[in-house]
Amino acid sequence: MTHSYDSTPIVAIATAPGRGGIGVVRISGKDLSEILSNLFGSTVLKPRHATYLDFTQADGTVIDQGLAISFKAPHSYTGEEVLELQGHGGPVVMQMLLSRCLEAGKEVGLRLAEPGEFTQRAFMNDKLDLAQAEAVADLIEASTEAAAKSASQSMSGAFSKVIHQLVEKVVHLRMLVEATLDFPEEEIDFLEKSDARGQLSEIQKSLRAVFEQAAQGALLREGLNVVLAGQPNVGKSSLLNALAGDDIAIVTPIAGTTRDKVTETIHIEGIPLNIIDTAGIRHDYDEPESGEVVDKIDAVERIGIERTWNEVQKADVILHLLDASRGPTRADEDIAARFPSDVPVICVWTKIDISGHHASVDTVGDLTQVYLSAQEHLGMDLLRQELLRIAGWQQTGESLYLARERHLIALKHAHEHLEQAAAYAAQNDQSLDLFAEELRLTQDRLNSITGEFTSDDLLGVIFSRFCIGK
């Protein structure tokens, strides 16, 4: 599938905003000779060698002094001619240098680059496939060492390589099936003679292994949204502070202290976890033993409770906090009844320093209960390990590649097509045409990961999320 893009030369400041020792302005285009002449006159830049010179205005006034490096196509990041100007990293100096470049390239249509446009051109010019291009952004955004290592793996082509190997296996099987369709007299016992079912089984096995690796890598990139939910004063804010190792949330004995969500990102074995502390959930029927209603919910707290339920609906994992010193209540049961059925829940019994329970994990069927004291830091490691377990994290000892949600979706769809192919294979040679079609769809899904079959609309979405200058 071919993709079109605007091939006019582009320019941008390639270093992060703010002050720094060095700043870089990058230009890319099919032919930069006129821009180079306007910027440096008769000075000739030797490709891939740094030249120290003055960066000047059109009238000869010096803007800065620094290094100019030119790269000839196709031996550059974008596959086009590239010029990088390395000067001092002050924002005013960089803007002056950028303006000068735009002026020097006015006649050839030099314009400011869109976010991710340099990397998009690298993809269009076959310097990177789409998975590698996405890994560039992931490496820049990596929040942990593990995520950075995995992004680097993907950027070097490790993820793309295993996808290509899968595609080759699918293509080989397609070739056999479609050749048989072209010569129907050879159809007799085709599935048996070619071991098509065995080949299909091997492809399915390989795909499952790739998906497991990709899912682990996606955890490193995306992390998990972990929502703390429960009644007021069960220790949600104390637990957030204990997990974060700092006083992030205000902790008081007054019910309803937390009125809005408080979010803190922590890392457990390199996995980012977005811990979301929410307003305590209480009901209008909450009342003391005397039967006299007290502490009516005010309007602000009611809004906070509504927002809590909104966060619960978006959670990857719910920590349902319960007070071990008083045991389960009707309100706890009503809260649990409203949790989404498809979201994992860990029941966290708090305040065991008061209740007398020991720090422990109890799992019966699908119900996992952790007993801890956030105040005394008892049982916190047990909770951390349960969070990793419920997230499906496994220390494989292998270098992971960083995957994105769209990669996982493509792999899931490929798996579904292979399952359907297996169903047709079970009908012997009666459905070879349908078998071949499912293999073609599998190939398309896999190719969408590396960009060999990708819509221009998807490319626009992917690259628009890059930073400018990359």
348 among annotated binding-site residues: no
26 among annotated binding-site residues: yes
Q: Which domains does the chain have, with CATH numbers?
A: 10-127 (3.30.1360.120), 130-451 (3.40.50.300)
Nearest 10 degrees: CA dihedral of 68, 73, 76, 77? Answer: 120
Average per-residue pLDDT for the chain: 82
Q: What is the DSSP letter of 372?
A: -
Question: 58-102, pLDDT tens digit by residue?
Answer: 999 999 999 999 999 999 999 999 999 999 988 999 999 999 999
The 10 Å Cβ neighbour count of residue 87 is 21
225 among annotated binding-site residues: no
416 among annotated binding-site residues: no
257 among annotated binding-site residues: yes
Q: Are 375 and 359 in contact (CB under 8 A)?
A: no
pLDDT score for 303? 73
48 among annotated binding-site residues: no
386 among annotated binding-site residues: no
Residue 334 token pair: 């009503």
Q: Are 144 and 184 in contact (CB under 8 A)?
A: no
Measured between alpha carbons, how far is 420 from 437 in angstroms, rounded to an integer? 10
278 among annotated binding-site residues: yes
User: Is the model's pLDDT at 249 over the cut of 50?
Assistant: no
Measured between alpha carbons, how far is 174 from 334 in angstroms, rounded to an integer? 54
Q: Which has more pLDDT, 32 or 195? A: 32
Which range is least confidently modeled, 10-19, 146-155, 335-344, 406-415?
Answer: 146-155
279 among annotated binding-site residues: yes
470 among annotated binding-site residues: yes
Measured between alpha carbons, how far is 375 from 303 in angstroms, rounded to an integer? 28
263 among annotated binding-site residues: no
Q: What is the pTM of this model?
A: 0.68
Q: What is the mean pLDDT of residues 364-368?
A: 82
Question: What proportion of the chain, given as a percentage, has pLDDT over 70?
Answer: 84
258 among annotated binding-site residues: yes
234 among annotated binding-site residues: yes
Q: What is the DSSP letter of 431?
A: G
Q: What is the mean pLDDT of residues 421-445?
A: 86
Question: 310-343, pLDDT tens digit by residue?
Answer: 778 888 888 899 898 888 888 888 888 888 888 8
3-state secondary structure of 56: strand
Residue 18 token pair: 């703010």
Residue 184 token pair: 């129907």
Q: What is the mean pLDDT of residues 252-264?
A: 54
99 among annotated binding-site residues: no
256 among annotated binding-site residues: yes
User: Is the model's pLDDT at 143 over the cut of 80?
Assistant: no
254 among annotated binding-site residues: yes
Measured between alpha carbons, how far is 277 from 238 in angstroms, rounded to an integer? 10
CA distances (Å), 94 to each of 71, 91, 97, 98, 130, in order?
21, 5, 5, 6, 30
Crossing angle for the helix pair 33-40 and 91-104, nearest 10 degrees?
Answer: 120
Residue 243 token pair: 């997990």
Measured between alpha carbons, how far is 172 from 219 in angstroms, rounded to an integer? 32
Which range is least confidently modeled, 24-28, 38-42, 108-112, 127-131?
Answer: 127-131
Which H or E element spans position 62? strand 62-71
428 among annotated binding-site residues: no
Q: Which residue reads 């893009």 in tokens?
A: 5
pLDDT score for 252? 41
21 among annotated binding-site residues: no
Q: Which of 190, 198, 203, 194 is nearest to 433 (CA)?
A: 190
252 among annotated binding-site residues: yes
Q: Which of 296, 382, 374, 309 is nearest to 346 (CA)?
A: 382
